[in-house]
């Protein structure tokens, strides 16, 4: 991807780059967080186990918050004749209990703990900040305000539930984005690499994105060209057949055989062009999807942010993250 010559072009470049951020975001390591004071699972369906649920929940919750005043109750129904299971998630401890229900099928049990953990984490978002931990003498001095140039990561979780004739399903989309300062200003990935002092990675990110866009364009173009060529061949064969029949053109195959052969050649050639274009297009688009966009791994991204933050000389306290979360 090449930088635009105008501010609008530059903004488009940054926005397009962010669309492929999910290539590495799933690999960003989660940090452990305090769990609710009570986690109860009643699971006659055998679909949701407590240990995997706690592991998923611990990876999602904010380390700067205290969830001990909350309770999480998860109950499931026995599988129905159609294999459907009703899952009820109840979170207590806030202003009023919150209950969420969803239906899953037995074939979706492998992801059930993850889905329930995502739903519960959303309801626990209003937990208060955890008590500040006294820094060791070797640690950077703590501050109750996140420095303006401090880079951290904000987790986004989206759970989409779909109900159909044959049951329900849930899709979980989880990712993290880099933010800077106390007001959580989101950074586009080119801005992130520039801010941590790695313009070479910015250039590589844009080059990788450009390669993917070229492959995507060639794939779509190949499919369109194959489709148009195929339709043209079919139309030409049909037209030739009609003209030959009208002009009474005959060969050793006879009048009927000659026109039939022309029609088969036109239609067969058209179908061949269409299949060839579709094959080329699908192959190029698949290759584009397999190519990485980001020049470094998720662990390296966090390392770059940590190195940048160490140069600031101060470390925000949990209270600072509470204030940042409350900011509009």
What ranges do the domains of the chain cover? 1-20+197-311, 35-181
Neighbours of 45 (CB within 10 A): 20
Confirm if 294 and 26 have CB atoms less than 8 A apart. no
Higher-confidence residue of 201 and 101: namely 201
Contact 28, 153 (CB under 8 A): yes
Taking 50 as the threshold, does the pLDDT of residue 32 lie above it?
A: no
What pLDDT does residue 123 have?
76
Q: Are 196 and 308 in contact (CB under 8 A)?
A: yes
Chain segment 252-308, per-residue pLDDT in tens: 555 566 667 777 877 888 889 899 989 998 999 999 888 888 888 888 888 999 999
- 8 Å CB contact between 253 and 261: yes
| Residue 192, pLDDT score | 92
Q: What is the pLDDT of residue 34?
A: 63
The per-residue pLDDT for 221 is: 92
What pLDDT, on the 0 to 100 scale, is given for residue 33?
A: 52
CA distance 285 to 212: 9
pLDDT on residue 228 = 93
Per residue in 99-125, pLDDT tens?
788 788 877 787 888 888 888 878 777
Residue 31 confidence class, pLDDT cut points 50, 70, 90:
very low
The lowest-confidence range among 98-102, 109-113, 142-146, 214-218 is 142-146
Which segments of 25-70 are extended strands (E)? 38-42
* Phi, psi (deg, nearest 5) at residue 217: -65, -40
CB of 49 within 8 A of CB of 43? yes
DSSP 8-state code for residue 162: E
Q: Which CATH number fits domain 35-181: 3.30.40, 3.40.1350, 2.60.40, 3.40.50?
A: 3.40.50
């Amino acid at each position: 991807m090449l930088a635009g010559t105008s501010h609008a072009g530059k903004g488009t470049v940054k926005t397009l780059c962010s669309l492929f951020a999910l290539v590495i975001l799933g690999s960003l390591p989660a940090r452990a967080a305090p769990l609710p004071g009570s986690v109860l699972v009643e699971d006659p369906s055998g679909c949701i186990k407590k240990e995997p649920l706690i592991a998923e929940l611990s990876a999602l919750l904010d380390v700067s918050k205290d969830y001990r005043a909350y309770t999480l109750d998860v109950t499931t129904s026995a599988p129905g004749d159609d294999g459907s299971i009703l899952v009820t998630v109840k979170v207590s401890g806030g202003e009023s209990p919150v209950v969420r229900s969803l239906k899953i099928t037995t074939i979706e049990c492998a992801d059930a703990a993850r889905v329930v953990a995502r739903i519960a984490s959303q309801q626990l978002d209003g937990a208060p900040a955890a008590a500040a931990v006294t820094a060791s003498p070797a640690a950077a001095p703590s501050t109750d305000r996140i420095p303006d140039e401090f880079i951290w990561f904000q987790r986004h979780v989206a759970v989409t539930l779909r109900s159909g004739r044959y049951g329900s399903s849930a899709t979980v989309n989880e990712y993290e984005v880099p933010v800077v300062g106390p007001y959580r200003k989101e950074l586009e990935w080119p801005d992130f690499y520039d801010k941590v002092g790695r313009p070479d990675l910015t250039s590589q990110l844009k080059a990788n994105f450009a390669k993917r866009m070229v492959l995507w364009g060639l794939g779509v173009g190949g499919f369109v060209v194959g489709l148009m060529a195929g339709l043209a061949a079919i139309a030409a064969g049909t037209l030739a057949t009609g003209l030959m029949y009208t002009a009474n053109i005959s060969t050793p195959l006879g009048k009927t055989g000659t026109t039939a052969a022309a029609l088969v050649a036109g239609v067969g050639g058209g179908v061949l062009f269409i299949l060839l274009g579709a094959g080329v297009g699908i192959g190029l688009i698949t290759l584009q999807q397999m190519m990485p966009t980001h020049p470094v791994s998720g662990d390296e991204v966090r390392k770059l942010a940590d190195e940048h933050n160490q140069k600031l000389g101060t470390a925000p306290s949990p209270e600072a993250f509470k204030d940042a979360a409350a900011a509009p």
